[in-house]
Amino acid sequence: MQGLHIIADLYHCPQGDYLHSANALRALCLGACAAAGLSVLGEHFYQFDSFDHIQPGGATGAVVLAESHLAIHTWPERDGATLDIYVCNVTGDNSTRAEHLYASLIAALKPADVLAKRVWRGKDLPIKAAA
């Protein structure tokens, strides 16, 4: 149950497919998860319509991992995105994989400003033996 939870708000991202294309965002996230050595169990991405009929709409997505999850939401009308990455494991420390995933997404989205928080979750409890 122990793991690293990274929550980040990304500001001043350059406009591009990742901010306003659910398909591009999906490919980015699945590729970044694979590159970090994480096991994708499922995913869902959604494309929003433009809220003002001028700018493209944002995208949102979630990737369910054997090690927990990645959630991402883009706001092209504000040049930003939000990330929620939680990577845990019952038998070992996967924080390096969480940081790798985070770094890959930051490199692709290229924010000029980031507000991030890292929370170490869980207690180091012994694994119960089967009854």
Q: Mean pLDDT, consecutive 10-residue segments, the chain of 131 residues?
A: 93 94 97 97 95 85 96 95 93 90 98 97 76 71
Is 110:13 a contact under the CB 8 Å cutoff?
yes
Q: For residue 17, what is the DSSP state?
A: H
Q: What is the pTM of this model?
A: 0.91
The predicted pLDDT at position 7 comes to 98
> Which residue is catalytic, options 88, 95, 100, 104?
88
Contact 82, 72 (CB under 8 A): yes
Structure tokens at 114: 């980031």
pLDDT, residue 51, reads 75
Q: For residue 8, give the H/E element and its range.
A: strand 2-11
In the annotation, is 68 catalytic?
yes
pLDDT of residue 55: 80
Give me the catalytic one of 5, 13, 33, 68.
Answer: 68
Is residue 73 flagged as an active site residue? yes
Residue 53 catalytic? Answer: no
Determine the pLDDT at residue 109.
98
